[in-house]
């Protein structure tokens, strides 16, 4: 929950129950088994390339931090949990456990990649270390908050790459999945590179620039299209973008020009026109000529109508004269991939003597085998582009973790010795105290744009992008194989 979202009524109540029941049954089990305070480490990562592309943009961290900071079990939460029954009709949780929850005070360490950072599959971009019951309790909410915003920020980045250098306006609030889906999508879309949003509450909460003029209903409310344009121009002469496709786009453009000429006599310029249907390439070319012939060289042509990165790319290749792109449904719903397959897995736990024990999950699917240890991600940079990432285990205390092995291809190895680098998981909480100072949202957006500039264009292709190298540090890779072999003997 972003701190500013607390202004919304939905967030004025406790969100401690924003979780799956099995998190609470496991927490109850840890408590009953006497190991609730045992130190453990969990990592959040995803496994599949979003939209079959070559990158993702990390987002949602500030929202997750806001959730953690306000996390507590209210009396109504505990009262509700007290009504839950097991299969015998007995209370699912005993009262002493509910009293334990009532005293919750967050005390974990959290490290994470900064919002706007590039992130790749199988790399942890958030790490929680602390009492196992607290770290476990966070799983569902963290995945909910970070998966969605990362997915939408990535979609926005792809759309903005296709539209470059033209600006993209996020238009999706009415098609988003619910109130929170709309607000979170507007925030994530801005991080991913969108210039502005039509969502006014997102503008208020996050300081995102807002754009909007009128809809078809405005034109239809008048007997004549020209009268609708004239009325709107007189009311908002300095914000005059006319929607011209209610009846006939070409005739609409000509009427908009007639009105704009009279507007110009009053000292105002036509800001632009918008197309929301039809052959956008052909129409925009013809309308550009109409505008230019009337002397409105600076008037912009905005297009909407179910746009995505592929259609924008195609329209540009056709020579469309569109200078602003309004993207809605495809952006805020992450069309092409309904969800980011983020997971949150235990990777290390202390035994009764306080010694760290690495943990991993086995699976018949190689892609679902997790990585053990207290993990960090080191990114290497040649001065122009990022050249690769190496995931290493801090428990190994490797002096120079610069030799990486591909997660699934041991023959694909890279040695980054001597290459400039940075460790990406930054301290966010220490012993429950927030230690990270979040930048303003425009700075997060700027980071995302700069990050993409550090990827070769071949890795930004929408079809068959060149893979970015991301692998395990060689000692971690070998340790993982050893643990797998030992577990399969049992």
> What one-character-per-residue DSSP string does 9-66 give?
GGGSS--TT-S-HHHHHHHHHHHHHT-TTSEEEEEEEE-S-GGG-S-EE---HHHHHH
pLDDT at 271: 93
Q: What is the SS3 string spanning 461-473?
A: CCCCCCCCCEEEE
**Closest to 361 (Cα-Cα) out of 127, 43, 20:** 43
Domain-embedded: residue 80:
no
Structural domain of 235: 212-322
Does the residue 77 lie in any domain?
no
Q: Is the dihedral of CA 225, 325, 180, 72 positive or negative?
A: negative
Q: Give the residues across from 169 on adjacent strands.
A: 196, 326
Residue 354 lies in a domain: yes
294 plus 356 within the same structural domain? no
User: Alpha-carbon distance 201 to 224, whole Å?
Assistant: 33
Q: Which of 204, 190, 18, 210 is nearest to 115 (CA)?
A: 190
Rounded CA-CA distance 330/334 in Å is: 6
Q: Which of 287, 322, 357 is the last residue of a domain?
A: 322
Q: What are phi and psi of 25, to 5 degrees?
A: -70, -35
Longest dimension (CA), the chain: 86
Residue 159 makes CB contacts below 8 A (sequence gap 6+) with 168, 192, 193, 194, 307, 308, 309, 312, 325, 327, 330, 331
CA atoms within 13 A on the CB side of 408: 9
Residue 272 phi/psi, 5° resolution?
A: 165, -175
**Are 117 and 20 within one domain?**
yes
Residues 349 and 271 in one domain: no
Q: Where are the alpha helices (DSSP H) in 318-355?
A: 329-332
Three-state SS for 359?
coil
Q: What is the pLDDT of residue 265?
A: 85
Structural domain total, the chain: 2
C-alpha 405: how far from its chain's center?
28
Q: Could you give phi then psi for residue 46, rounded to 5 degrees?
A: -125, 165
pLDDT given at position 360: 95
pLDDT of residue 415: 97
379 and 449 housed in the same domain: yes
Residues 307 and 406 placed together within one structural domain of the fold: no
Q: What is the pLDDT of residues 331-383, one digit of tens each?
A: 999 999 999 999 999 999 999 999 999 999 998 888 899 999 999 999 999 99
* Distance of alpha carbon 88 from alpha carbon 108, whole angstroms: 36
What is the distance in angstroms between the CA of the first residue and the CA of the last residue of the chain?
43
Phi, psi of 152 (to 5 degrees): -70, -40
* pLDDT score recorded for residue 23: 98
Do 413 and 483 meet the contact criterion of CB atoms below 8 Å apart? Answer: no
Say if residue 373 is in the same domain as residue 412: yes
Is this structure's pTM higher than 0.75? yes
Residues with Cβ within 8 Å of 36's Cβ and at least 6 positions away in sequence, in order, are 27, 30, 100, 131, 132, 133
Residue 121 and residue 230 in one domain: no
Residue 291 lies in a domain: yes
Residue that the structure tokens 């958030």 belong to: 126
How confident is the model at residue 455, as a pLDDT?
98
Whether 359 maps to a domain, the answer reads yes
Rounded Cα distance, 299 and 312, in Å: 20
Instruction: Tell me if 179 is assigned to some domain.
Output: no
413's CB contacts (< 8 A; 6+ apart) are 403, 404, 405, 406, 471, 474
Q: What is the mean pLDDT of each run of 10 residues along the chain (490 residues)?
A: 53 83 98 98 96 97 94 96 97 98 97 98 97 98 97 98 98 93 97 98 95 94 97 91 96 96 87 96 98 96 96 98 97 95 97 95 90 98 97 95 94 96 98 97 98 97 96 96 89
Query: 267: domain CATH number?
Result: 3.20.20.70
What does the alpha-carbon distance between residue 56 and residue 83 come to, in Å, rounded to a whole number?
42
Q: Are 325 and 169 in contact (CB under 8 A)?
A: yes
Sign of CA dihedral 74, 76, 78, 81: negative
* pLDDT in the model for residue 221: 98
Tell me: do 308 and 413 sit in the same domain. Answer: no
Q: What CA–CA distance (Å, rounded) separates 51 from 482?
A: 34
Domain assignment present for residue 461? The answer is yes
Tokens of 240: 């005059």
Q: Does 426 sit behind a cis peptide bond, omega within 30 degrees of 0 on the bond before it? A: no
The two tokens of residue 413 are 């190895």
CATH code at 396? 3.20.140.10
Residue closest to 318 by CA, chosen among 342, 288, 282: 282
Q: Are residues 289 and 227 in the same domain?
A: yes
Examine the domain organization and report whether 318 and 342 are in the same domain: no
What gap in Å lies between CA 287 and CA 322, rounded to an integer? 10
pLDDT reported for residue 18: 95
Residue 13: predicted pLDDT = 67
* 473 and 343 both lie in a single domain: yes
Q: Which of 146, 89, 100, 99 is nearest to 119 (CA)?
A: 146
User: In whole angstroms, what is the distance from residue 163 CA to residue 313 CA?
Assistant: 7
| pLDDT attached to residue 1 | 45
Structural domain includes residue 161 = no
Other C-beta atoms within 10 Å of 304: how many? 21
């Amino acid at each position: 929950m972003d701190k500013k979202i607390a202004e919304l009524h939905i967030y004025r109540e406790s969100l401690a129950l924003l979780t799956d029941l099995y998190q609470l049954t496991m927490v109850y089990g840890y408590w009953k088994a006497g190991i609730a305070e045992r130190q453990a480490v969990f990592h959040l990562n995803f496994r599949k390339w979003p939209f079959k592309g070559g990158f993702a943009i990390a987002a949602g961290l500030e929202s997750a931090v806001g959730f953690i900071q306000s996390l507590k079990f209210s009396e109504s939460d505990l009262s509700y949990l007290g009504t839950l029954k097991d299969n015998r009709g007995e209370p699912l949780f005993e009262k002493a456990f509910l009293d334990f929850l009532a005293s919750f005070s967050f005390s974990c360490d959290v490290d994470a990649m900064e919002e706007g950072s590039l992130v790749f599959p199988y790399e942890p971009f958030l790490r929680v270390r602390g009492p196992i019951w607290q770290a476990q309790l966070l799983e569902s909410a963290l995945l909910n908050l970070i998966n969605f915003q990362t997915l939408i920020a990535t979609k926005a980045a792809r759309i903005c790459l296709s539209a470059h250098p033209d600006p993209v306006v996020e238009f999706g609030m009415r098609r988003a999945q619910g109130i929170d889906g709309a607000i979170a999508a507007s925030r994530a879309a801005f991080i991913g590179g969108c210039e502005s949003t039509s969502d006014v509450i997102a503008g208020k909460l996050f300081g995102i620039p807002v754009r909007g003029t009128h809809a078809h209903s405005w034109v239809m409310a008048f007997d004549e299209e020209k009268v609708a344009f004239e009325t709107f121009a007189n009311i908002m002469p300095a914000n005059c973008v006319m929607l011209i496709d209610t009846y006939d786009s070409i005739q609409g453009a000509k009427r908009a020009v007639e009105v704009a000429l009279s507007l110009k006599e009053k000292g105002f310029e036509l800001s632009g026109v918008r197309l929301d249907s039809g052959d956008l390439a052909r129409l925009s070319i013809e309308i550009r000529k109409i505008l230019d012939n009337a002397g409105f060289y600076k008037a912009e042509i905005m297009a909407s109508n179910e746009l995505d990165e592929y259609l924008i790319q195609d329209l540009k290749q056709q020579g469309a004269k569109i200078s602003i792109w309004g993207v809605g449904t495809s952006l805020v719903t992450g069309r092409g991939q309904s969800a980011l397959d983020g997971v949150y897995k235990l990777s290390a736990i202390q035994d009764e003597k306080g010694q760290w024990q690495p943990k991993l999950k086995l699976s018949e699917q190689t892609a679902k085998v997790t990585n053990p240890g207290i993990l960090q991600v080191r990114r290497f940079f040649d001065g122009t582009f990022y050249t690769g990432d190496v995931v290493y285990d801090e428990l190994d205390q490797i002096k120079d973790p610069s030799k990486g092995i591909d997660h699934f291809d041991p023959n694909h190895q890279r040695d980054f010795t001597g290459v400039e680098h940075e460790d990406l998981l930054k301290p966010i909480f220490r012993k429950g105290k927030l230690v990270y100072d979040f930048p303003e949202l425009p700075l997060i957006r700027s980071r995302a744009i700069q990050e993409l500039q550090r990827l070769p264009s071949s890795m930004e292709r929408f079809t068959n992008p060149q893979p970015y190298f991301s692998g395990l540090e060689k000692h971690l890779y070998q340790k993982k194989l050893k643990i797998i072999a030992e577990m399969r003997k049992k």
